[in-house]
Structures are given as C-alpha cells and as structure tokens.
Amino acid sequence: MLITGGGSGIGASIVRHFCAQRARVAFIDIAAAASSALRDEIGAGGGTAPVFIEADLRDIAALRQAVSRVEGELGPIRALVNNAARDDRHDWREVTPEYWNAVLDVNLRHQFFALQAVAPAMAAAGGGSIVNFGSISWMRKAPGMVGYTTAKAAVEGLTRTMARELGPMNIRVNAIVPGATRTERQVALWWTDETMARFRREQCLDRIVEPPDIARMALFLAADDSAAITAQSFRVDAGLA
Ligand SMILES: NC(=O)c1ccc[n+]([C@@H]2O[C@H](COP(=O)([O-])OP(=O)(O)OC[C@H]3O[C@@H](n4cnc5c(N)ncnc54)[C@H](O)[C@@H]3O)[C@@H](O)[C@H]2O)c1
C-alpha cells in the first residue's frame, strides 16, 4: 500500500498502523530527515521497514515515477492513502494567480494524479481502496486559508466522481475528513492552550483528536471490513463540524 505525506503528522501514524498490520507499506514525502528516521525506527522495532521515497508531490512526473517504483518493489498497490497537504495561511487579498495554483498543487492536484497512476495495476489485481483526505475547515468557514479550504472542498467532488469511475473495477474511493487533530505541525504553528480548550468546548466530545484516531479510520477503509462502502466522506472530528 502507498501513503503520501507519510513522514510526519497523521501520515506517520498511518504508516505505523499499517506496518503494525504487517502490510507492505511505501510512503512518499518531501521531508527526508523525518521520513528516514520513521522508516529506520519501524525497522529497528522488529517490523518490516516501510519503503520511503523522497519526492515532491507537486512534481507529477516524480509522483508517477514513485508509483512505478513501489509497484516494482512491492507489487500492485491495493490501497492508496492520499494524505499529504500543507495548510499554509494566506490573506485572500494578497493571493496571486501563481500562489493560487501553488496551493492547489500541494493540496489537491497530486491526489488525482496519484489515483490515476495506481488505478490500472490496482484494477488488474482485482481492485482496491483509495482514501483521499479532506478537511472540516471549509465546513466551518475557516478564514485565512481560502486556497486550502477550496482544495479540501474539491476533494469531496473528486471522491464521488472517481468512486463512480472506478467502481466497475472494484476500486472503492472514500475520503477521511479530519477535525482539529494534534500533530507536530499544528502544535508548532497554530495551536495554543486556548485553541485546544476551544476545540474541546465546541466538539461534542471533550477530548483531543489524535493522529491514531484518524489512522484507525484509514485501516477500516483500506480493509475488506468496508467492502461495500464507496463514494463517502467520513468525519473524524469528535463532533466539531
Ligand atoms: N491536523 C489537522 O488538524 C488536520 C485537520 C483537517 C485535515 N487534515 C488533513 O490531514 C492530512 C494530514 O495532515 P497533517 O496535519 O498530518 O499534516 P502535516 O503537515 O503534519 O504532515 C503532512 C506531511 O505531508 C508532507 N508533504 C507536504 N507537502 C509535500 C509535498 N509537496 N511533497 C511530498 N510531501 C509533502 C509533509 O512533509 C508532511 O510529512 C492533510 O491532508 C490535512 O489537510 C489535518
């Protein structure tokens, strides 16, 4: 199986969870140091180390090459988790056409091209599961990131259309829509104690959503447990949206 952006945050938790199931795991990430450290740590812990491929997902040729390499090393990809993204903040007044394209490239475009690249071998192998990553941010009308929220809203359309396109090949396409999830990046850049307290107040559940909460949904959607589920989006947000 293949995970994009598996080097840190939610993606790293997904890598760990699939490795713990003894799946043959590969992940793509631009962050070489964190990703190599994760790969080595899992290998040193006695499990089969995942394959790490350093690539920039904005480069579609590099993404296609990475998919071919994974198929060569691990066989057809039966599960793809399109997790990578970058929630940079931006003032809508200052967004240029170039910046707009850059935000969509890092948050949306690679999800389609990864899916397009894995689908033929997945279909030939009998089918599989594709999991795209959305976000509740656009549902909550989050300000200061219109490129990101637009991309994440589009993931819903991508998911539903491609579920229809790929269904006849026994390929399921669903989306996970995380809520406010405690990752290294969120804590380093945006979260304060006050933000965290606010999330807990506004959520139905008085708890913090952690990366493993999301990873367990990815496991479910990749497994045959969800064999009859496609074209759906699943919020894992403790009831925030
Ligand atoms: N954390 C949250 O609160 C939250 C909320 C809603 C949605 N999400 C979504 O969940 C997913 C994971 O988010 P996260 O919080 O773990 O993010 P993160 O920033 O912690 O991790 C993202 C990973 O993607 C990698 N990446 C970024 N740009 C890349 C590129 N161009 N090429 C290759 N790799 C690249 C990063 O290096 C990093 O390892 C994303 O799709 C995000 O939009 C997260």
Do the domain assignments include residue 195?
A: yes
Which amino acid is present at 138?
W
Neighbours of 54 (CB within 10 A): 14
The reported pLDDT for the residue numbered 43 is 95
CATH assignment of the domain containing 212: 3.40.50.720
Please check the confidence at residue 24 and state whether its pLDDT lies above 90.
yes
Question: In the chain, how many domains are there?
Answer: 1
Between the CA of 94 and the centroid of ligand 1 the distance, in Å, is 23
Domain that holds residue 7: 2-236
In this structure, is residue 241 part of a structural domain? no
Q: Which of 38, 22, 114 is nearest to 77 (CA)?
A: 114
For ligand 1, atom 21: residue with the closest CA: 9
Q: Is 99 a known active-site residue?
A: no
Average pLDDT, the chain: 97
Strand order in the sheet with 233-236: 51-54, 26-29, 2-4, 79-82, 128-133, 171-178, 233-236
Establish if 208 belongs to a structural domain.
yes
Q: Whose CA is nearest to atom 7 of ligand 1?
A: 135
For 188, the token pair is: 């380093």
pLDDT value at position 160?
Answer: 98
List, for residues 159-212, the tens digit of each pLDDT value.
999 999 999 999 999 999 999 999 999 999 999 999 999 999 999 999 999 999
What are the respective helix, strand and coil percentages of the chain, to the nearest 5?
50, 15, 35
**pTM beyond 0.85, yes or no:** yes
pLDDT in tens, 80-122: 999 999 999 999 999 999 999 999 999 999 999 999 999 999 9
User: Angle 109-114-115 (CA atoms, 0-180°, nearest 5)?
Assistant: 100
Q: Which of 52, 148, 199, 234 is catalytic?
A: 148
pLDDT value at 46 more than 90: no
Confidence class for position 130, pLDDT limits 50, 70, 90: very high
Instruction: State the Cα–Cα distance between residues 31 and 172, nearest whole angstrom.
Output: 29
pLDDT at 41 (0 to 100): 97
- The single-letter code of the amino acid at 133 is F
Asked if residue 226 belongs to a domain, the reply is yes
Indicate the length of the chain as a whole number: 241
As for ligand 1, residues whose beta carbon falls within 6 Å of it are 5, 7-11, 28-31, 56-58, 83-87, 106, 133, 135, 178, 180-181, 183, 185-186
User: Per-residue confidence at 47, pLDDT binned at 50, 70, 90?
Assistant: confident
Cα of 55 vs centre of ligand 1, distance in Å, is 14
Q: How far is the CA of 83 from the centre of ligand 1 (A)?
A: 6
Residue 141 within a domain: yes
Residue 115 lies in a domain: yes
Q: Domain for residue 128, yes or no? A: yes
Identify whether 39 is part of a domain. Answer: yes
